[in-house]
Homo-oligomer: A and B are copies of this chain.
Amino acid sequence: MGRRPTIIDVAKLAGVSKSTAARALSDSPDVNDITRDKVRKAALASGYERNHLAVGMRSGRSGLFGLVIPDITNPFWAEVARGAQDVVEENGASLLVFSSDWDHGREANHLRALRQARVEGAIVNPVSDNVDDFGRFGLPFVLIGSSAERFPDTPSIGSDIAQAVRLGLDHLVSLGHPTPALILGPKSRLARARFLRTVHEHCLERDIDPAVLLTEDSDYTFEGGFAAMQRLMARRPHGHLAVFCANDLIALGALLAAREAGRECPRDVSILGFDGVPAGAFSWPGLTTIEKPARELGRRAAQALFDEIAGRPQDGRTYLPCRLIERGSLADLSAQTPLRVAGAGRS
Interface residues of A in 181-200 (CB under 8 A from B): none
Chain B proximity mask over A245-289: 1 for CB below 8 Å, otherwise 0: 000000010011001000000000000000000110111100000
Q: In the complex, which residues of chain B have a beta carbon less than 8 angstroms from the beta carbon of A236?
A: none
For A106, give the chain B residue with the smallest CB separation.
Answer: B89
User: Is A321 part of the binding interface, using a Cβ–Cβ cutoff of 8 Å?
Assistant: no
Q: In the complex, which residues of chain B have a beta carbon less than 8 angstroms from the beta carbon of A95?
A: 96-98
Q: In the complex, which residues of chain B have a beta carbon less than 8 angstroms from the beta carbon of A117?
A: 52-53, 63-64, 94
User: Is A81 part of the binding interface, using a Cβ–Cβ cutoff of 8 Å?
Assistant: yes
User: Is A347 part of the binding interface, using a Cβ–Cβ cutoff of 8 Å?
Assistant: no
Q: In the complex, which residues of chain B have a beta carbon less than 8 angstroms from the beta carbon of A64?
A: 96, 117
Chain B proximity mask over A42-64: 1 for CB below 8 Å, otherwise 0: 00000001111110110000111
- Determine the distance from Cα of A57 to Cα of B94 in the docked complex, in whole angstroms: 18
Q: In the complex, which residues of chain B have a beta carbon less than 8 angstroms from the beta carbon of A94?
A: 96, 98, 113, 117
For A54, give the chain B residue with the smallest CB separation.
Answer: B57
Which residue, of A53, A89, A282, has the highest number of chain B Cβ atoms within 10 A? A282
Interface residues of A in 90-143 (CB under 8 A from B): 94-99, 109, 112-113, 115-118, 138
Known contacts A96-B96, A97-B95, A138-B4; is A49 also within 8 Å of B116 by CB? yes
Please tell me which one of the listed residues B118, B138, B222 contacts residue A282 in the complex, with CB atoms under 8 A apart.
B222
Please tell me which one of the listed residues B118, B222, B278 contacts residue A51 in the complex, with CB atoms under 8 A apart.
B118
Cβ–Cβ contact A259 & B279, under 8 A: no
Which stretch, A67-75, A160-168, A310-318, A329-337, touches the partner chain B?
A67-75
Q: In the complex, which residues of chain B have a beta carbon less than 8 angstroms from the beta carbon of A97?
A: 81, 85, 95-97
Cβ–Cβ contact B283 & A49, under 8 A: no
User: Is A13 part of the binding interface, using a Cβ–Cβ cutoff of 8 Å?
Assistant: no
- Determine the distance from Cα of A98 to Cα of B295 in the docked complex, in whole angstroms: 15
Q: In the complex, which residues of chain B have a beta carbon less than 8 angstroms from the beta carbon of A82?
A: 71-73, 99
User: Is A291 part of the binding interface, using a Cβ–Cβ cutoff of 8 Å?
Assistant: no
Cβ–Cβ contact A73 & B79, under 8 A: yes
For A81, give the chain B residue with the smallest CB separation.
Answer: B72
Q: In the complex, which residues of chain B have a beta carbon less than 8 angstroms from the beta carbon of A282?
A: 222, 252, 256, 279, 282-283
Cβ–Cβ contact A52 & B85, under 8 A: no
- Determine the distance from Cα of A222 to Cα of B280 in the docked complex, in whole angstroms: 13
User: Is A325 part of the binding interface, using a Cβ–Cβ cutoff of 8 Å?
Assistant: no
For A119, give the chain B residue with the smallest CB separation.
Answer: B94
Extra inter-chain contacts (20) besides given A53-B57, A222-B281, CB under 8 Å:
A50-B116, A51-B116, A52-B116, A52-B118, A63-B117, A64-B117, A72-B81, A73-B295, A75-B78, A81-B97, A82-B99, A85-B99, A95-B98, A96-B96, A96-B97, A255-B284, A256-B284, A279-B279, A282-B283, A283-B284
Interface residues of A (CB under 8 A from B): 4, 49-54, 56-57, 62-64, 71-73, 75, 78-79, 81-82, 85, 89, 94-99, 109, 112-113, 115-118, 138, 222, 252, 255-256, 259, 278-279, 281-284, 295
A-B contact pairs, 15 of them (CB 8 A): A49-B112, A49-B116, A51-B116, A52-B117, A53-B62, A53-B118, A57-B57, A63-B117, A72-B81, A73-B79, A82-B99, A85-B99, A256-B284, A279-B282, A283-B284
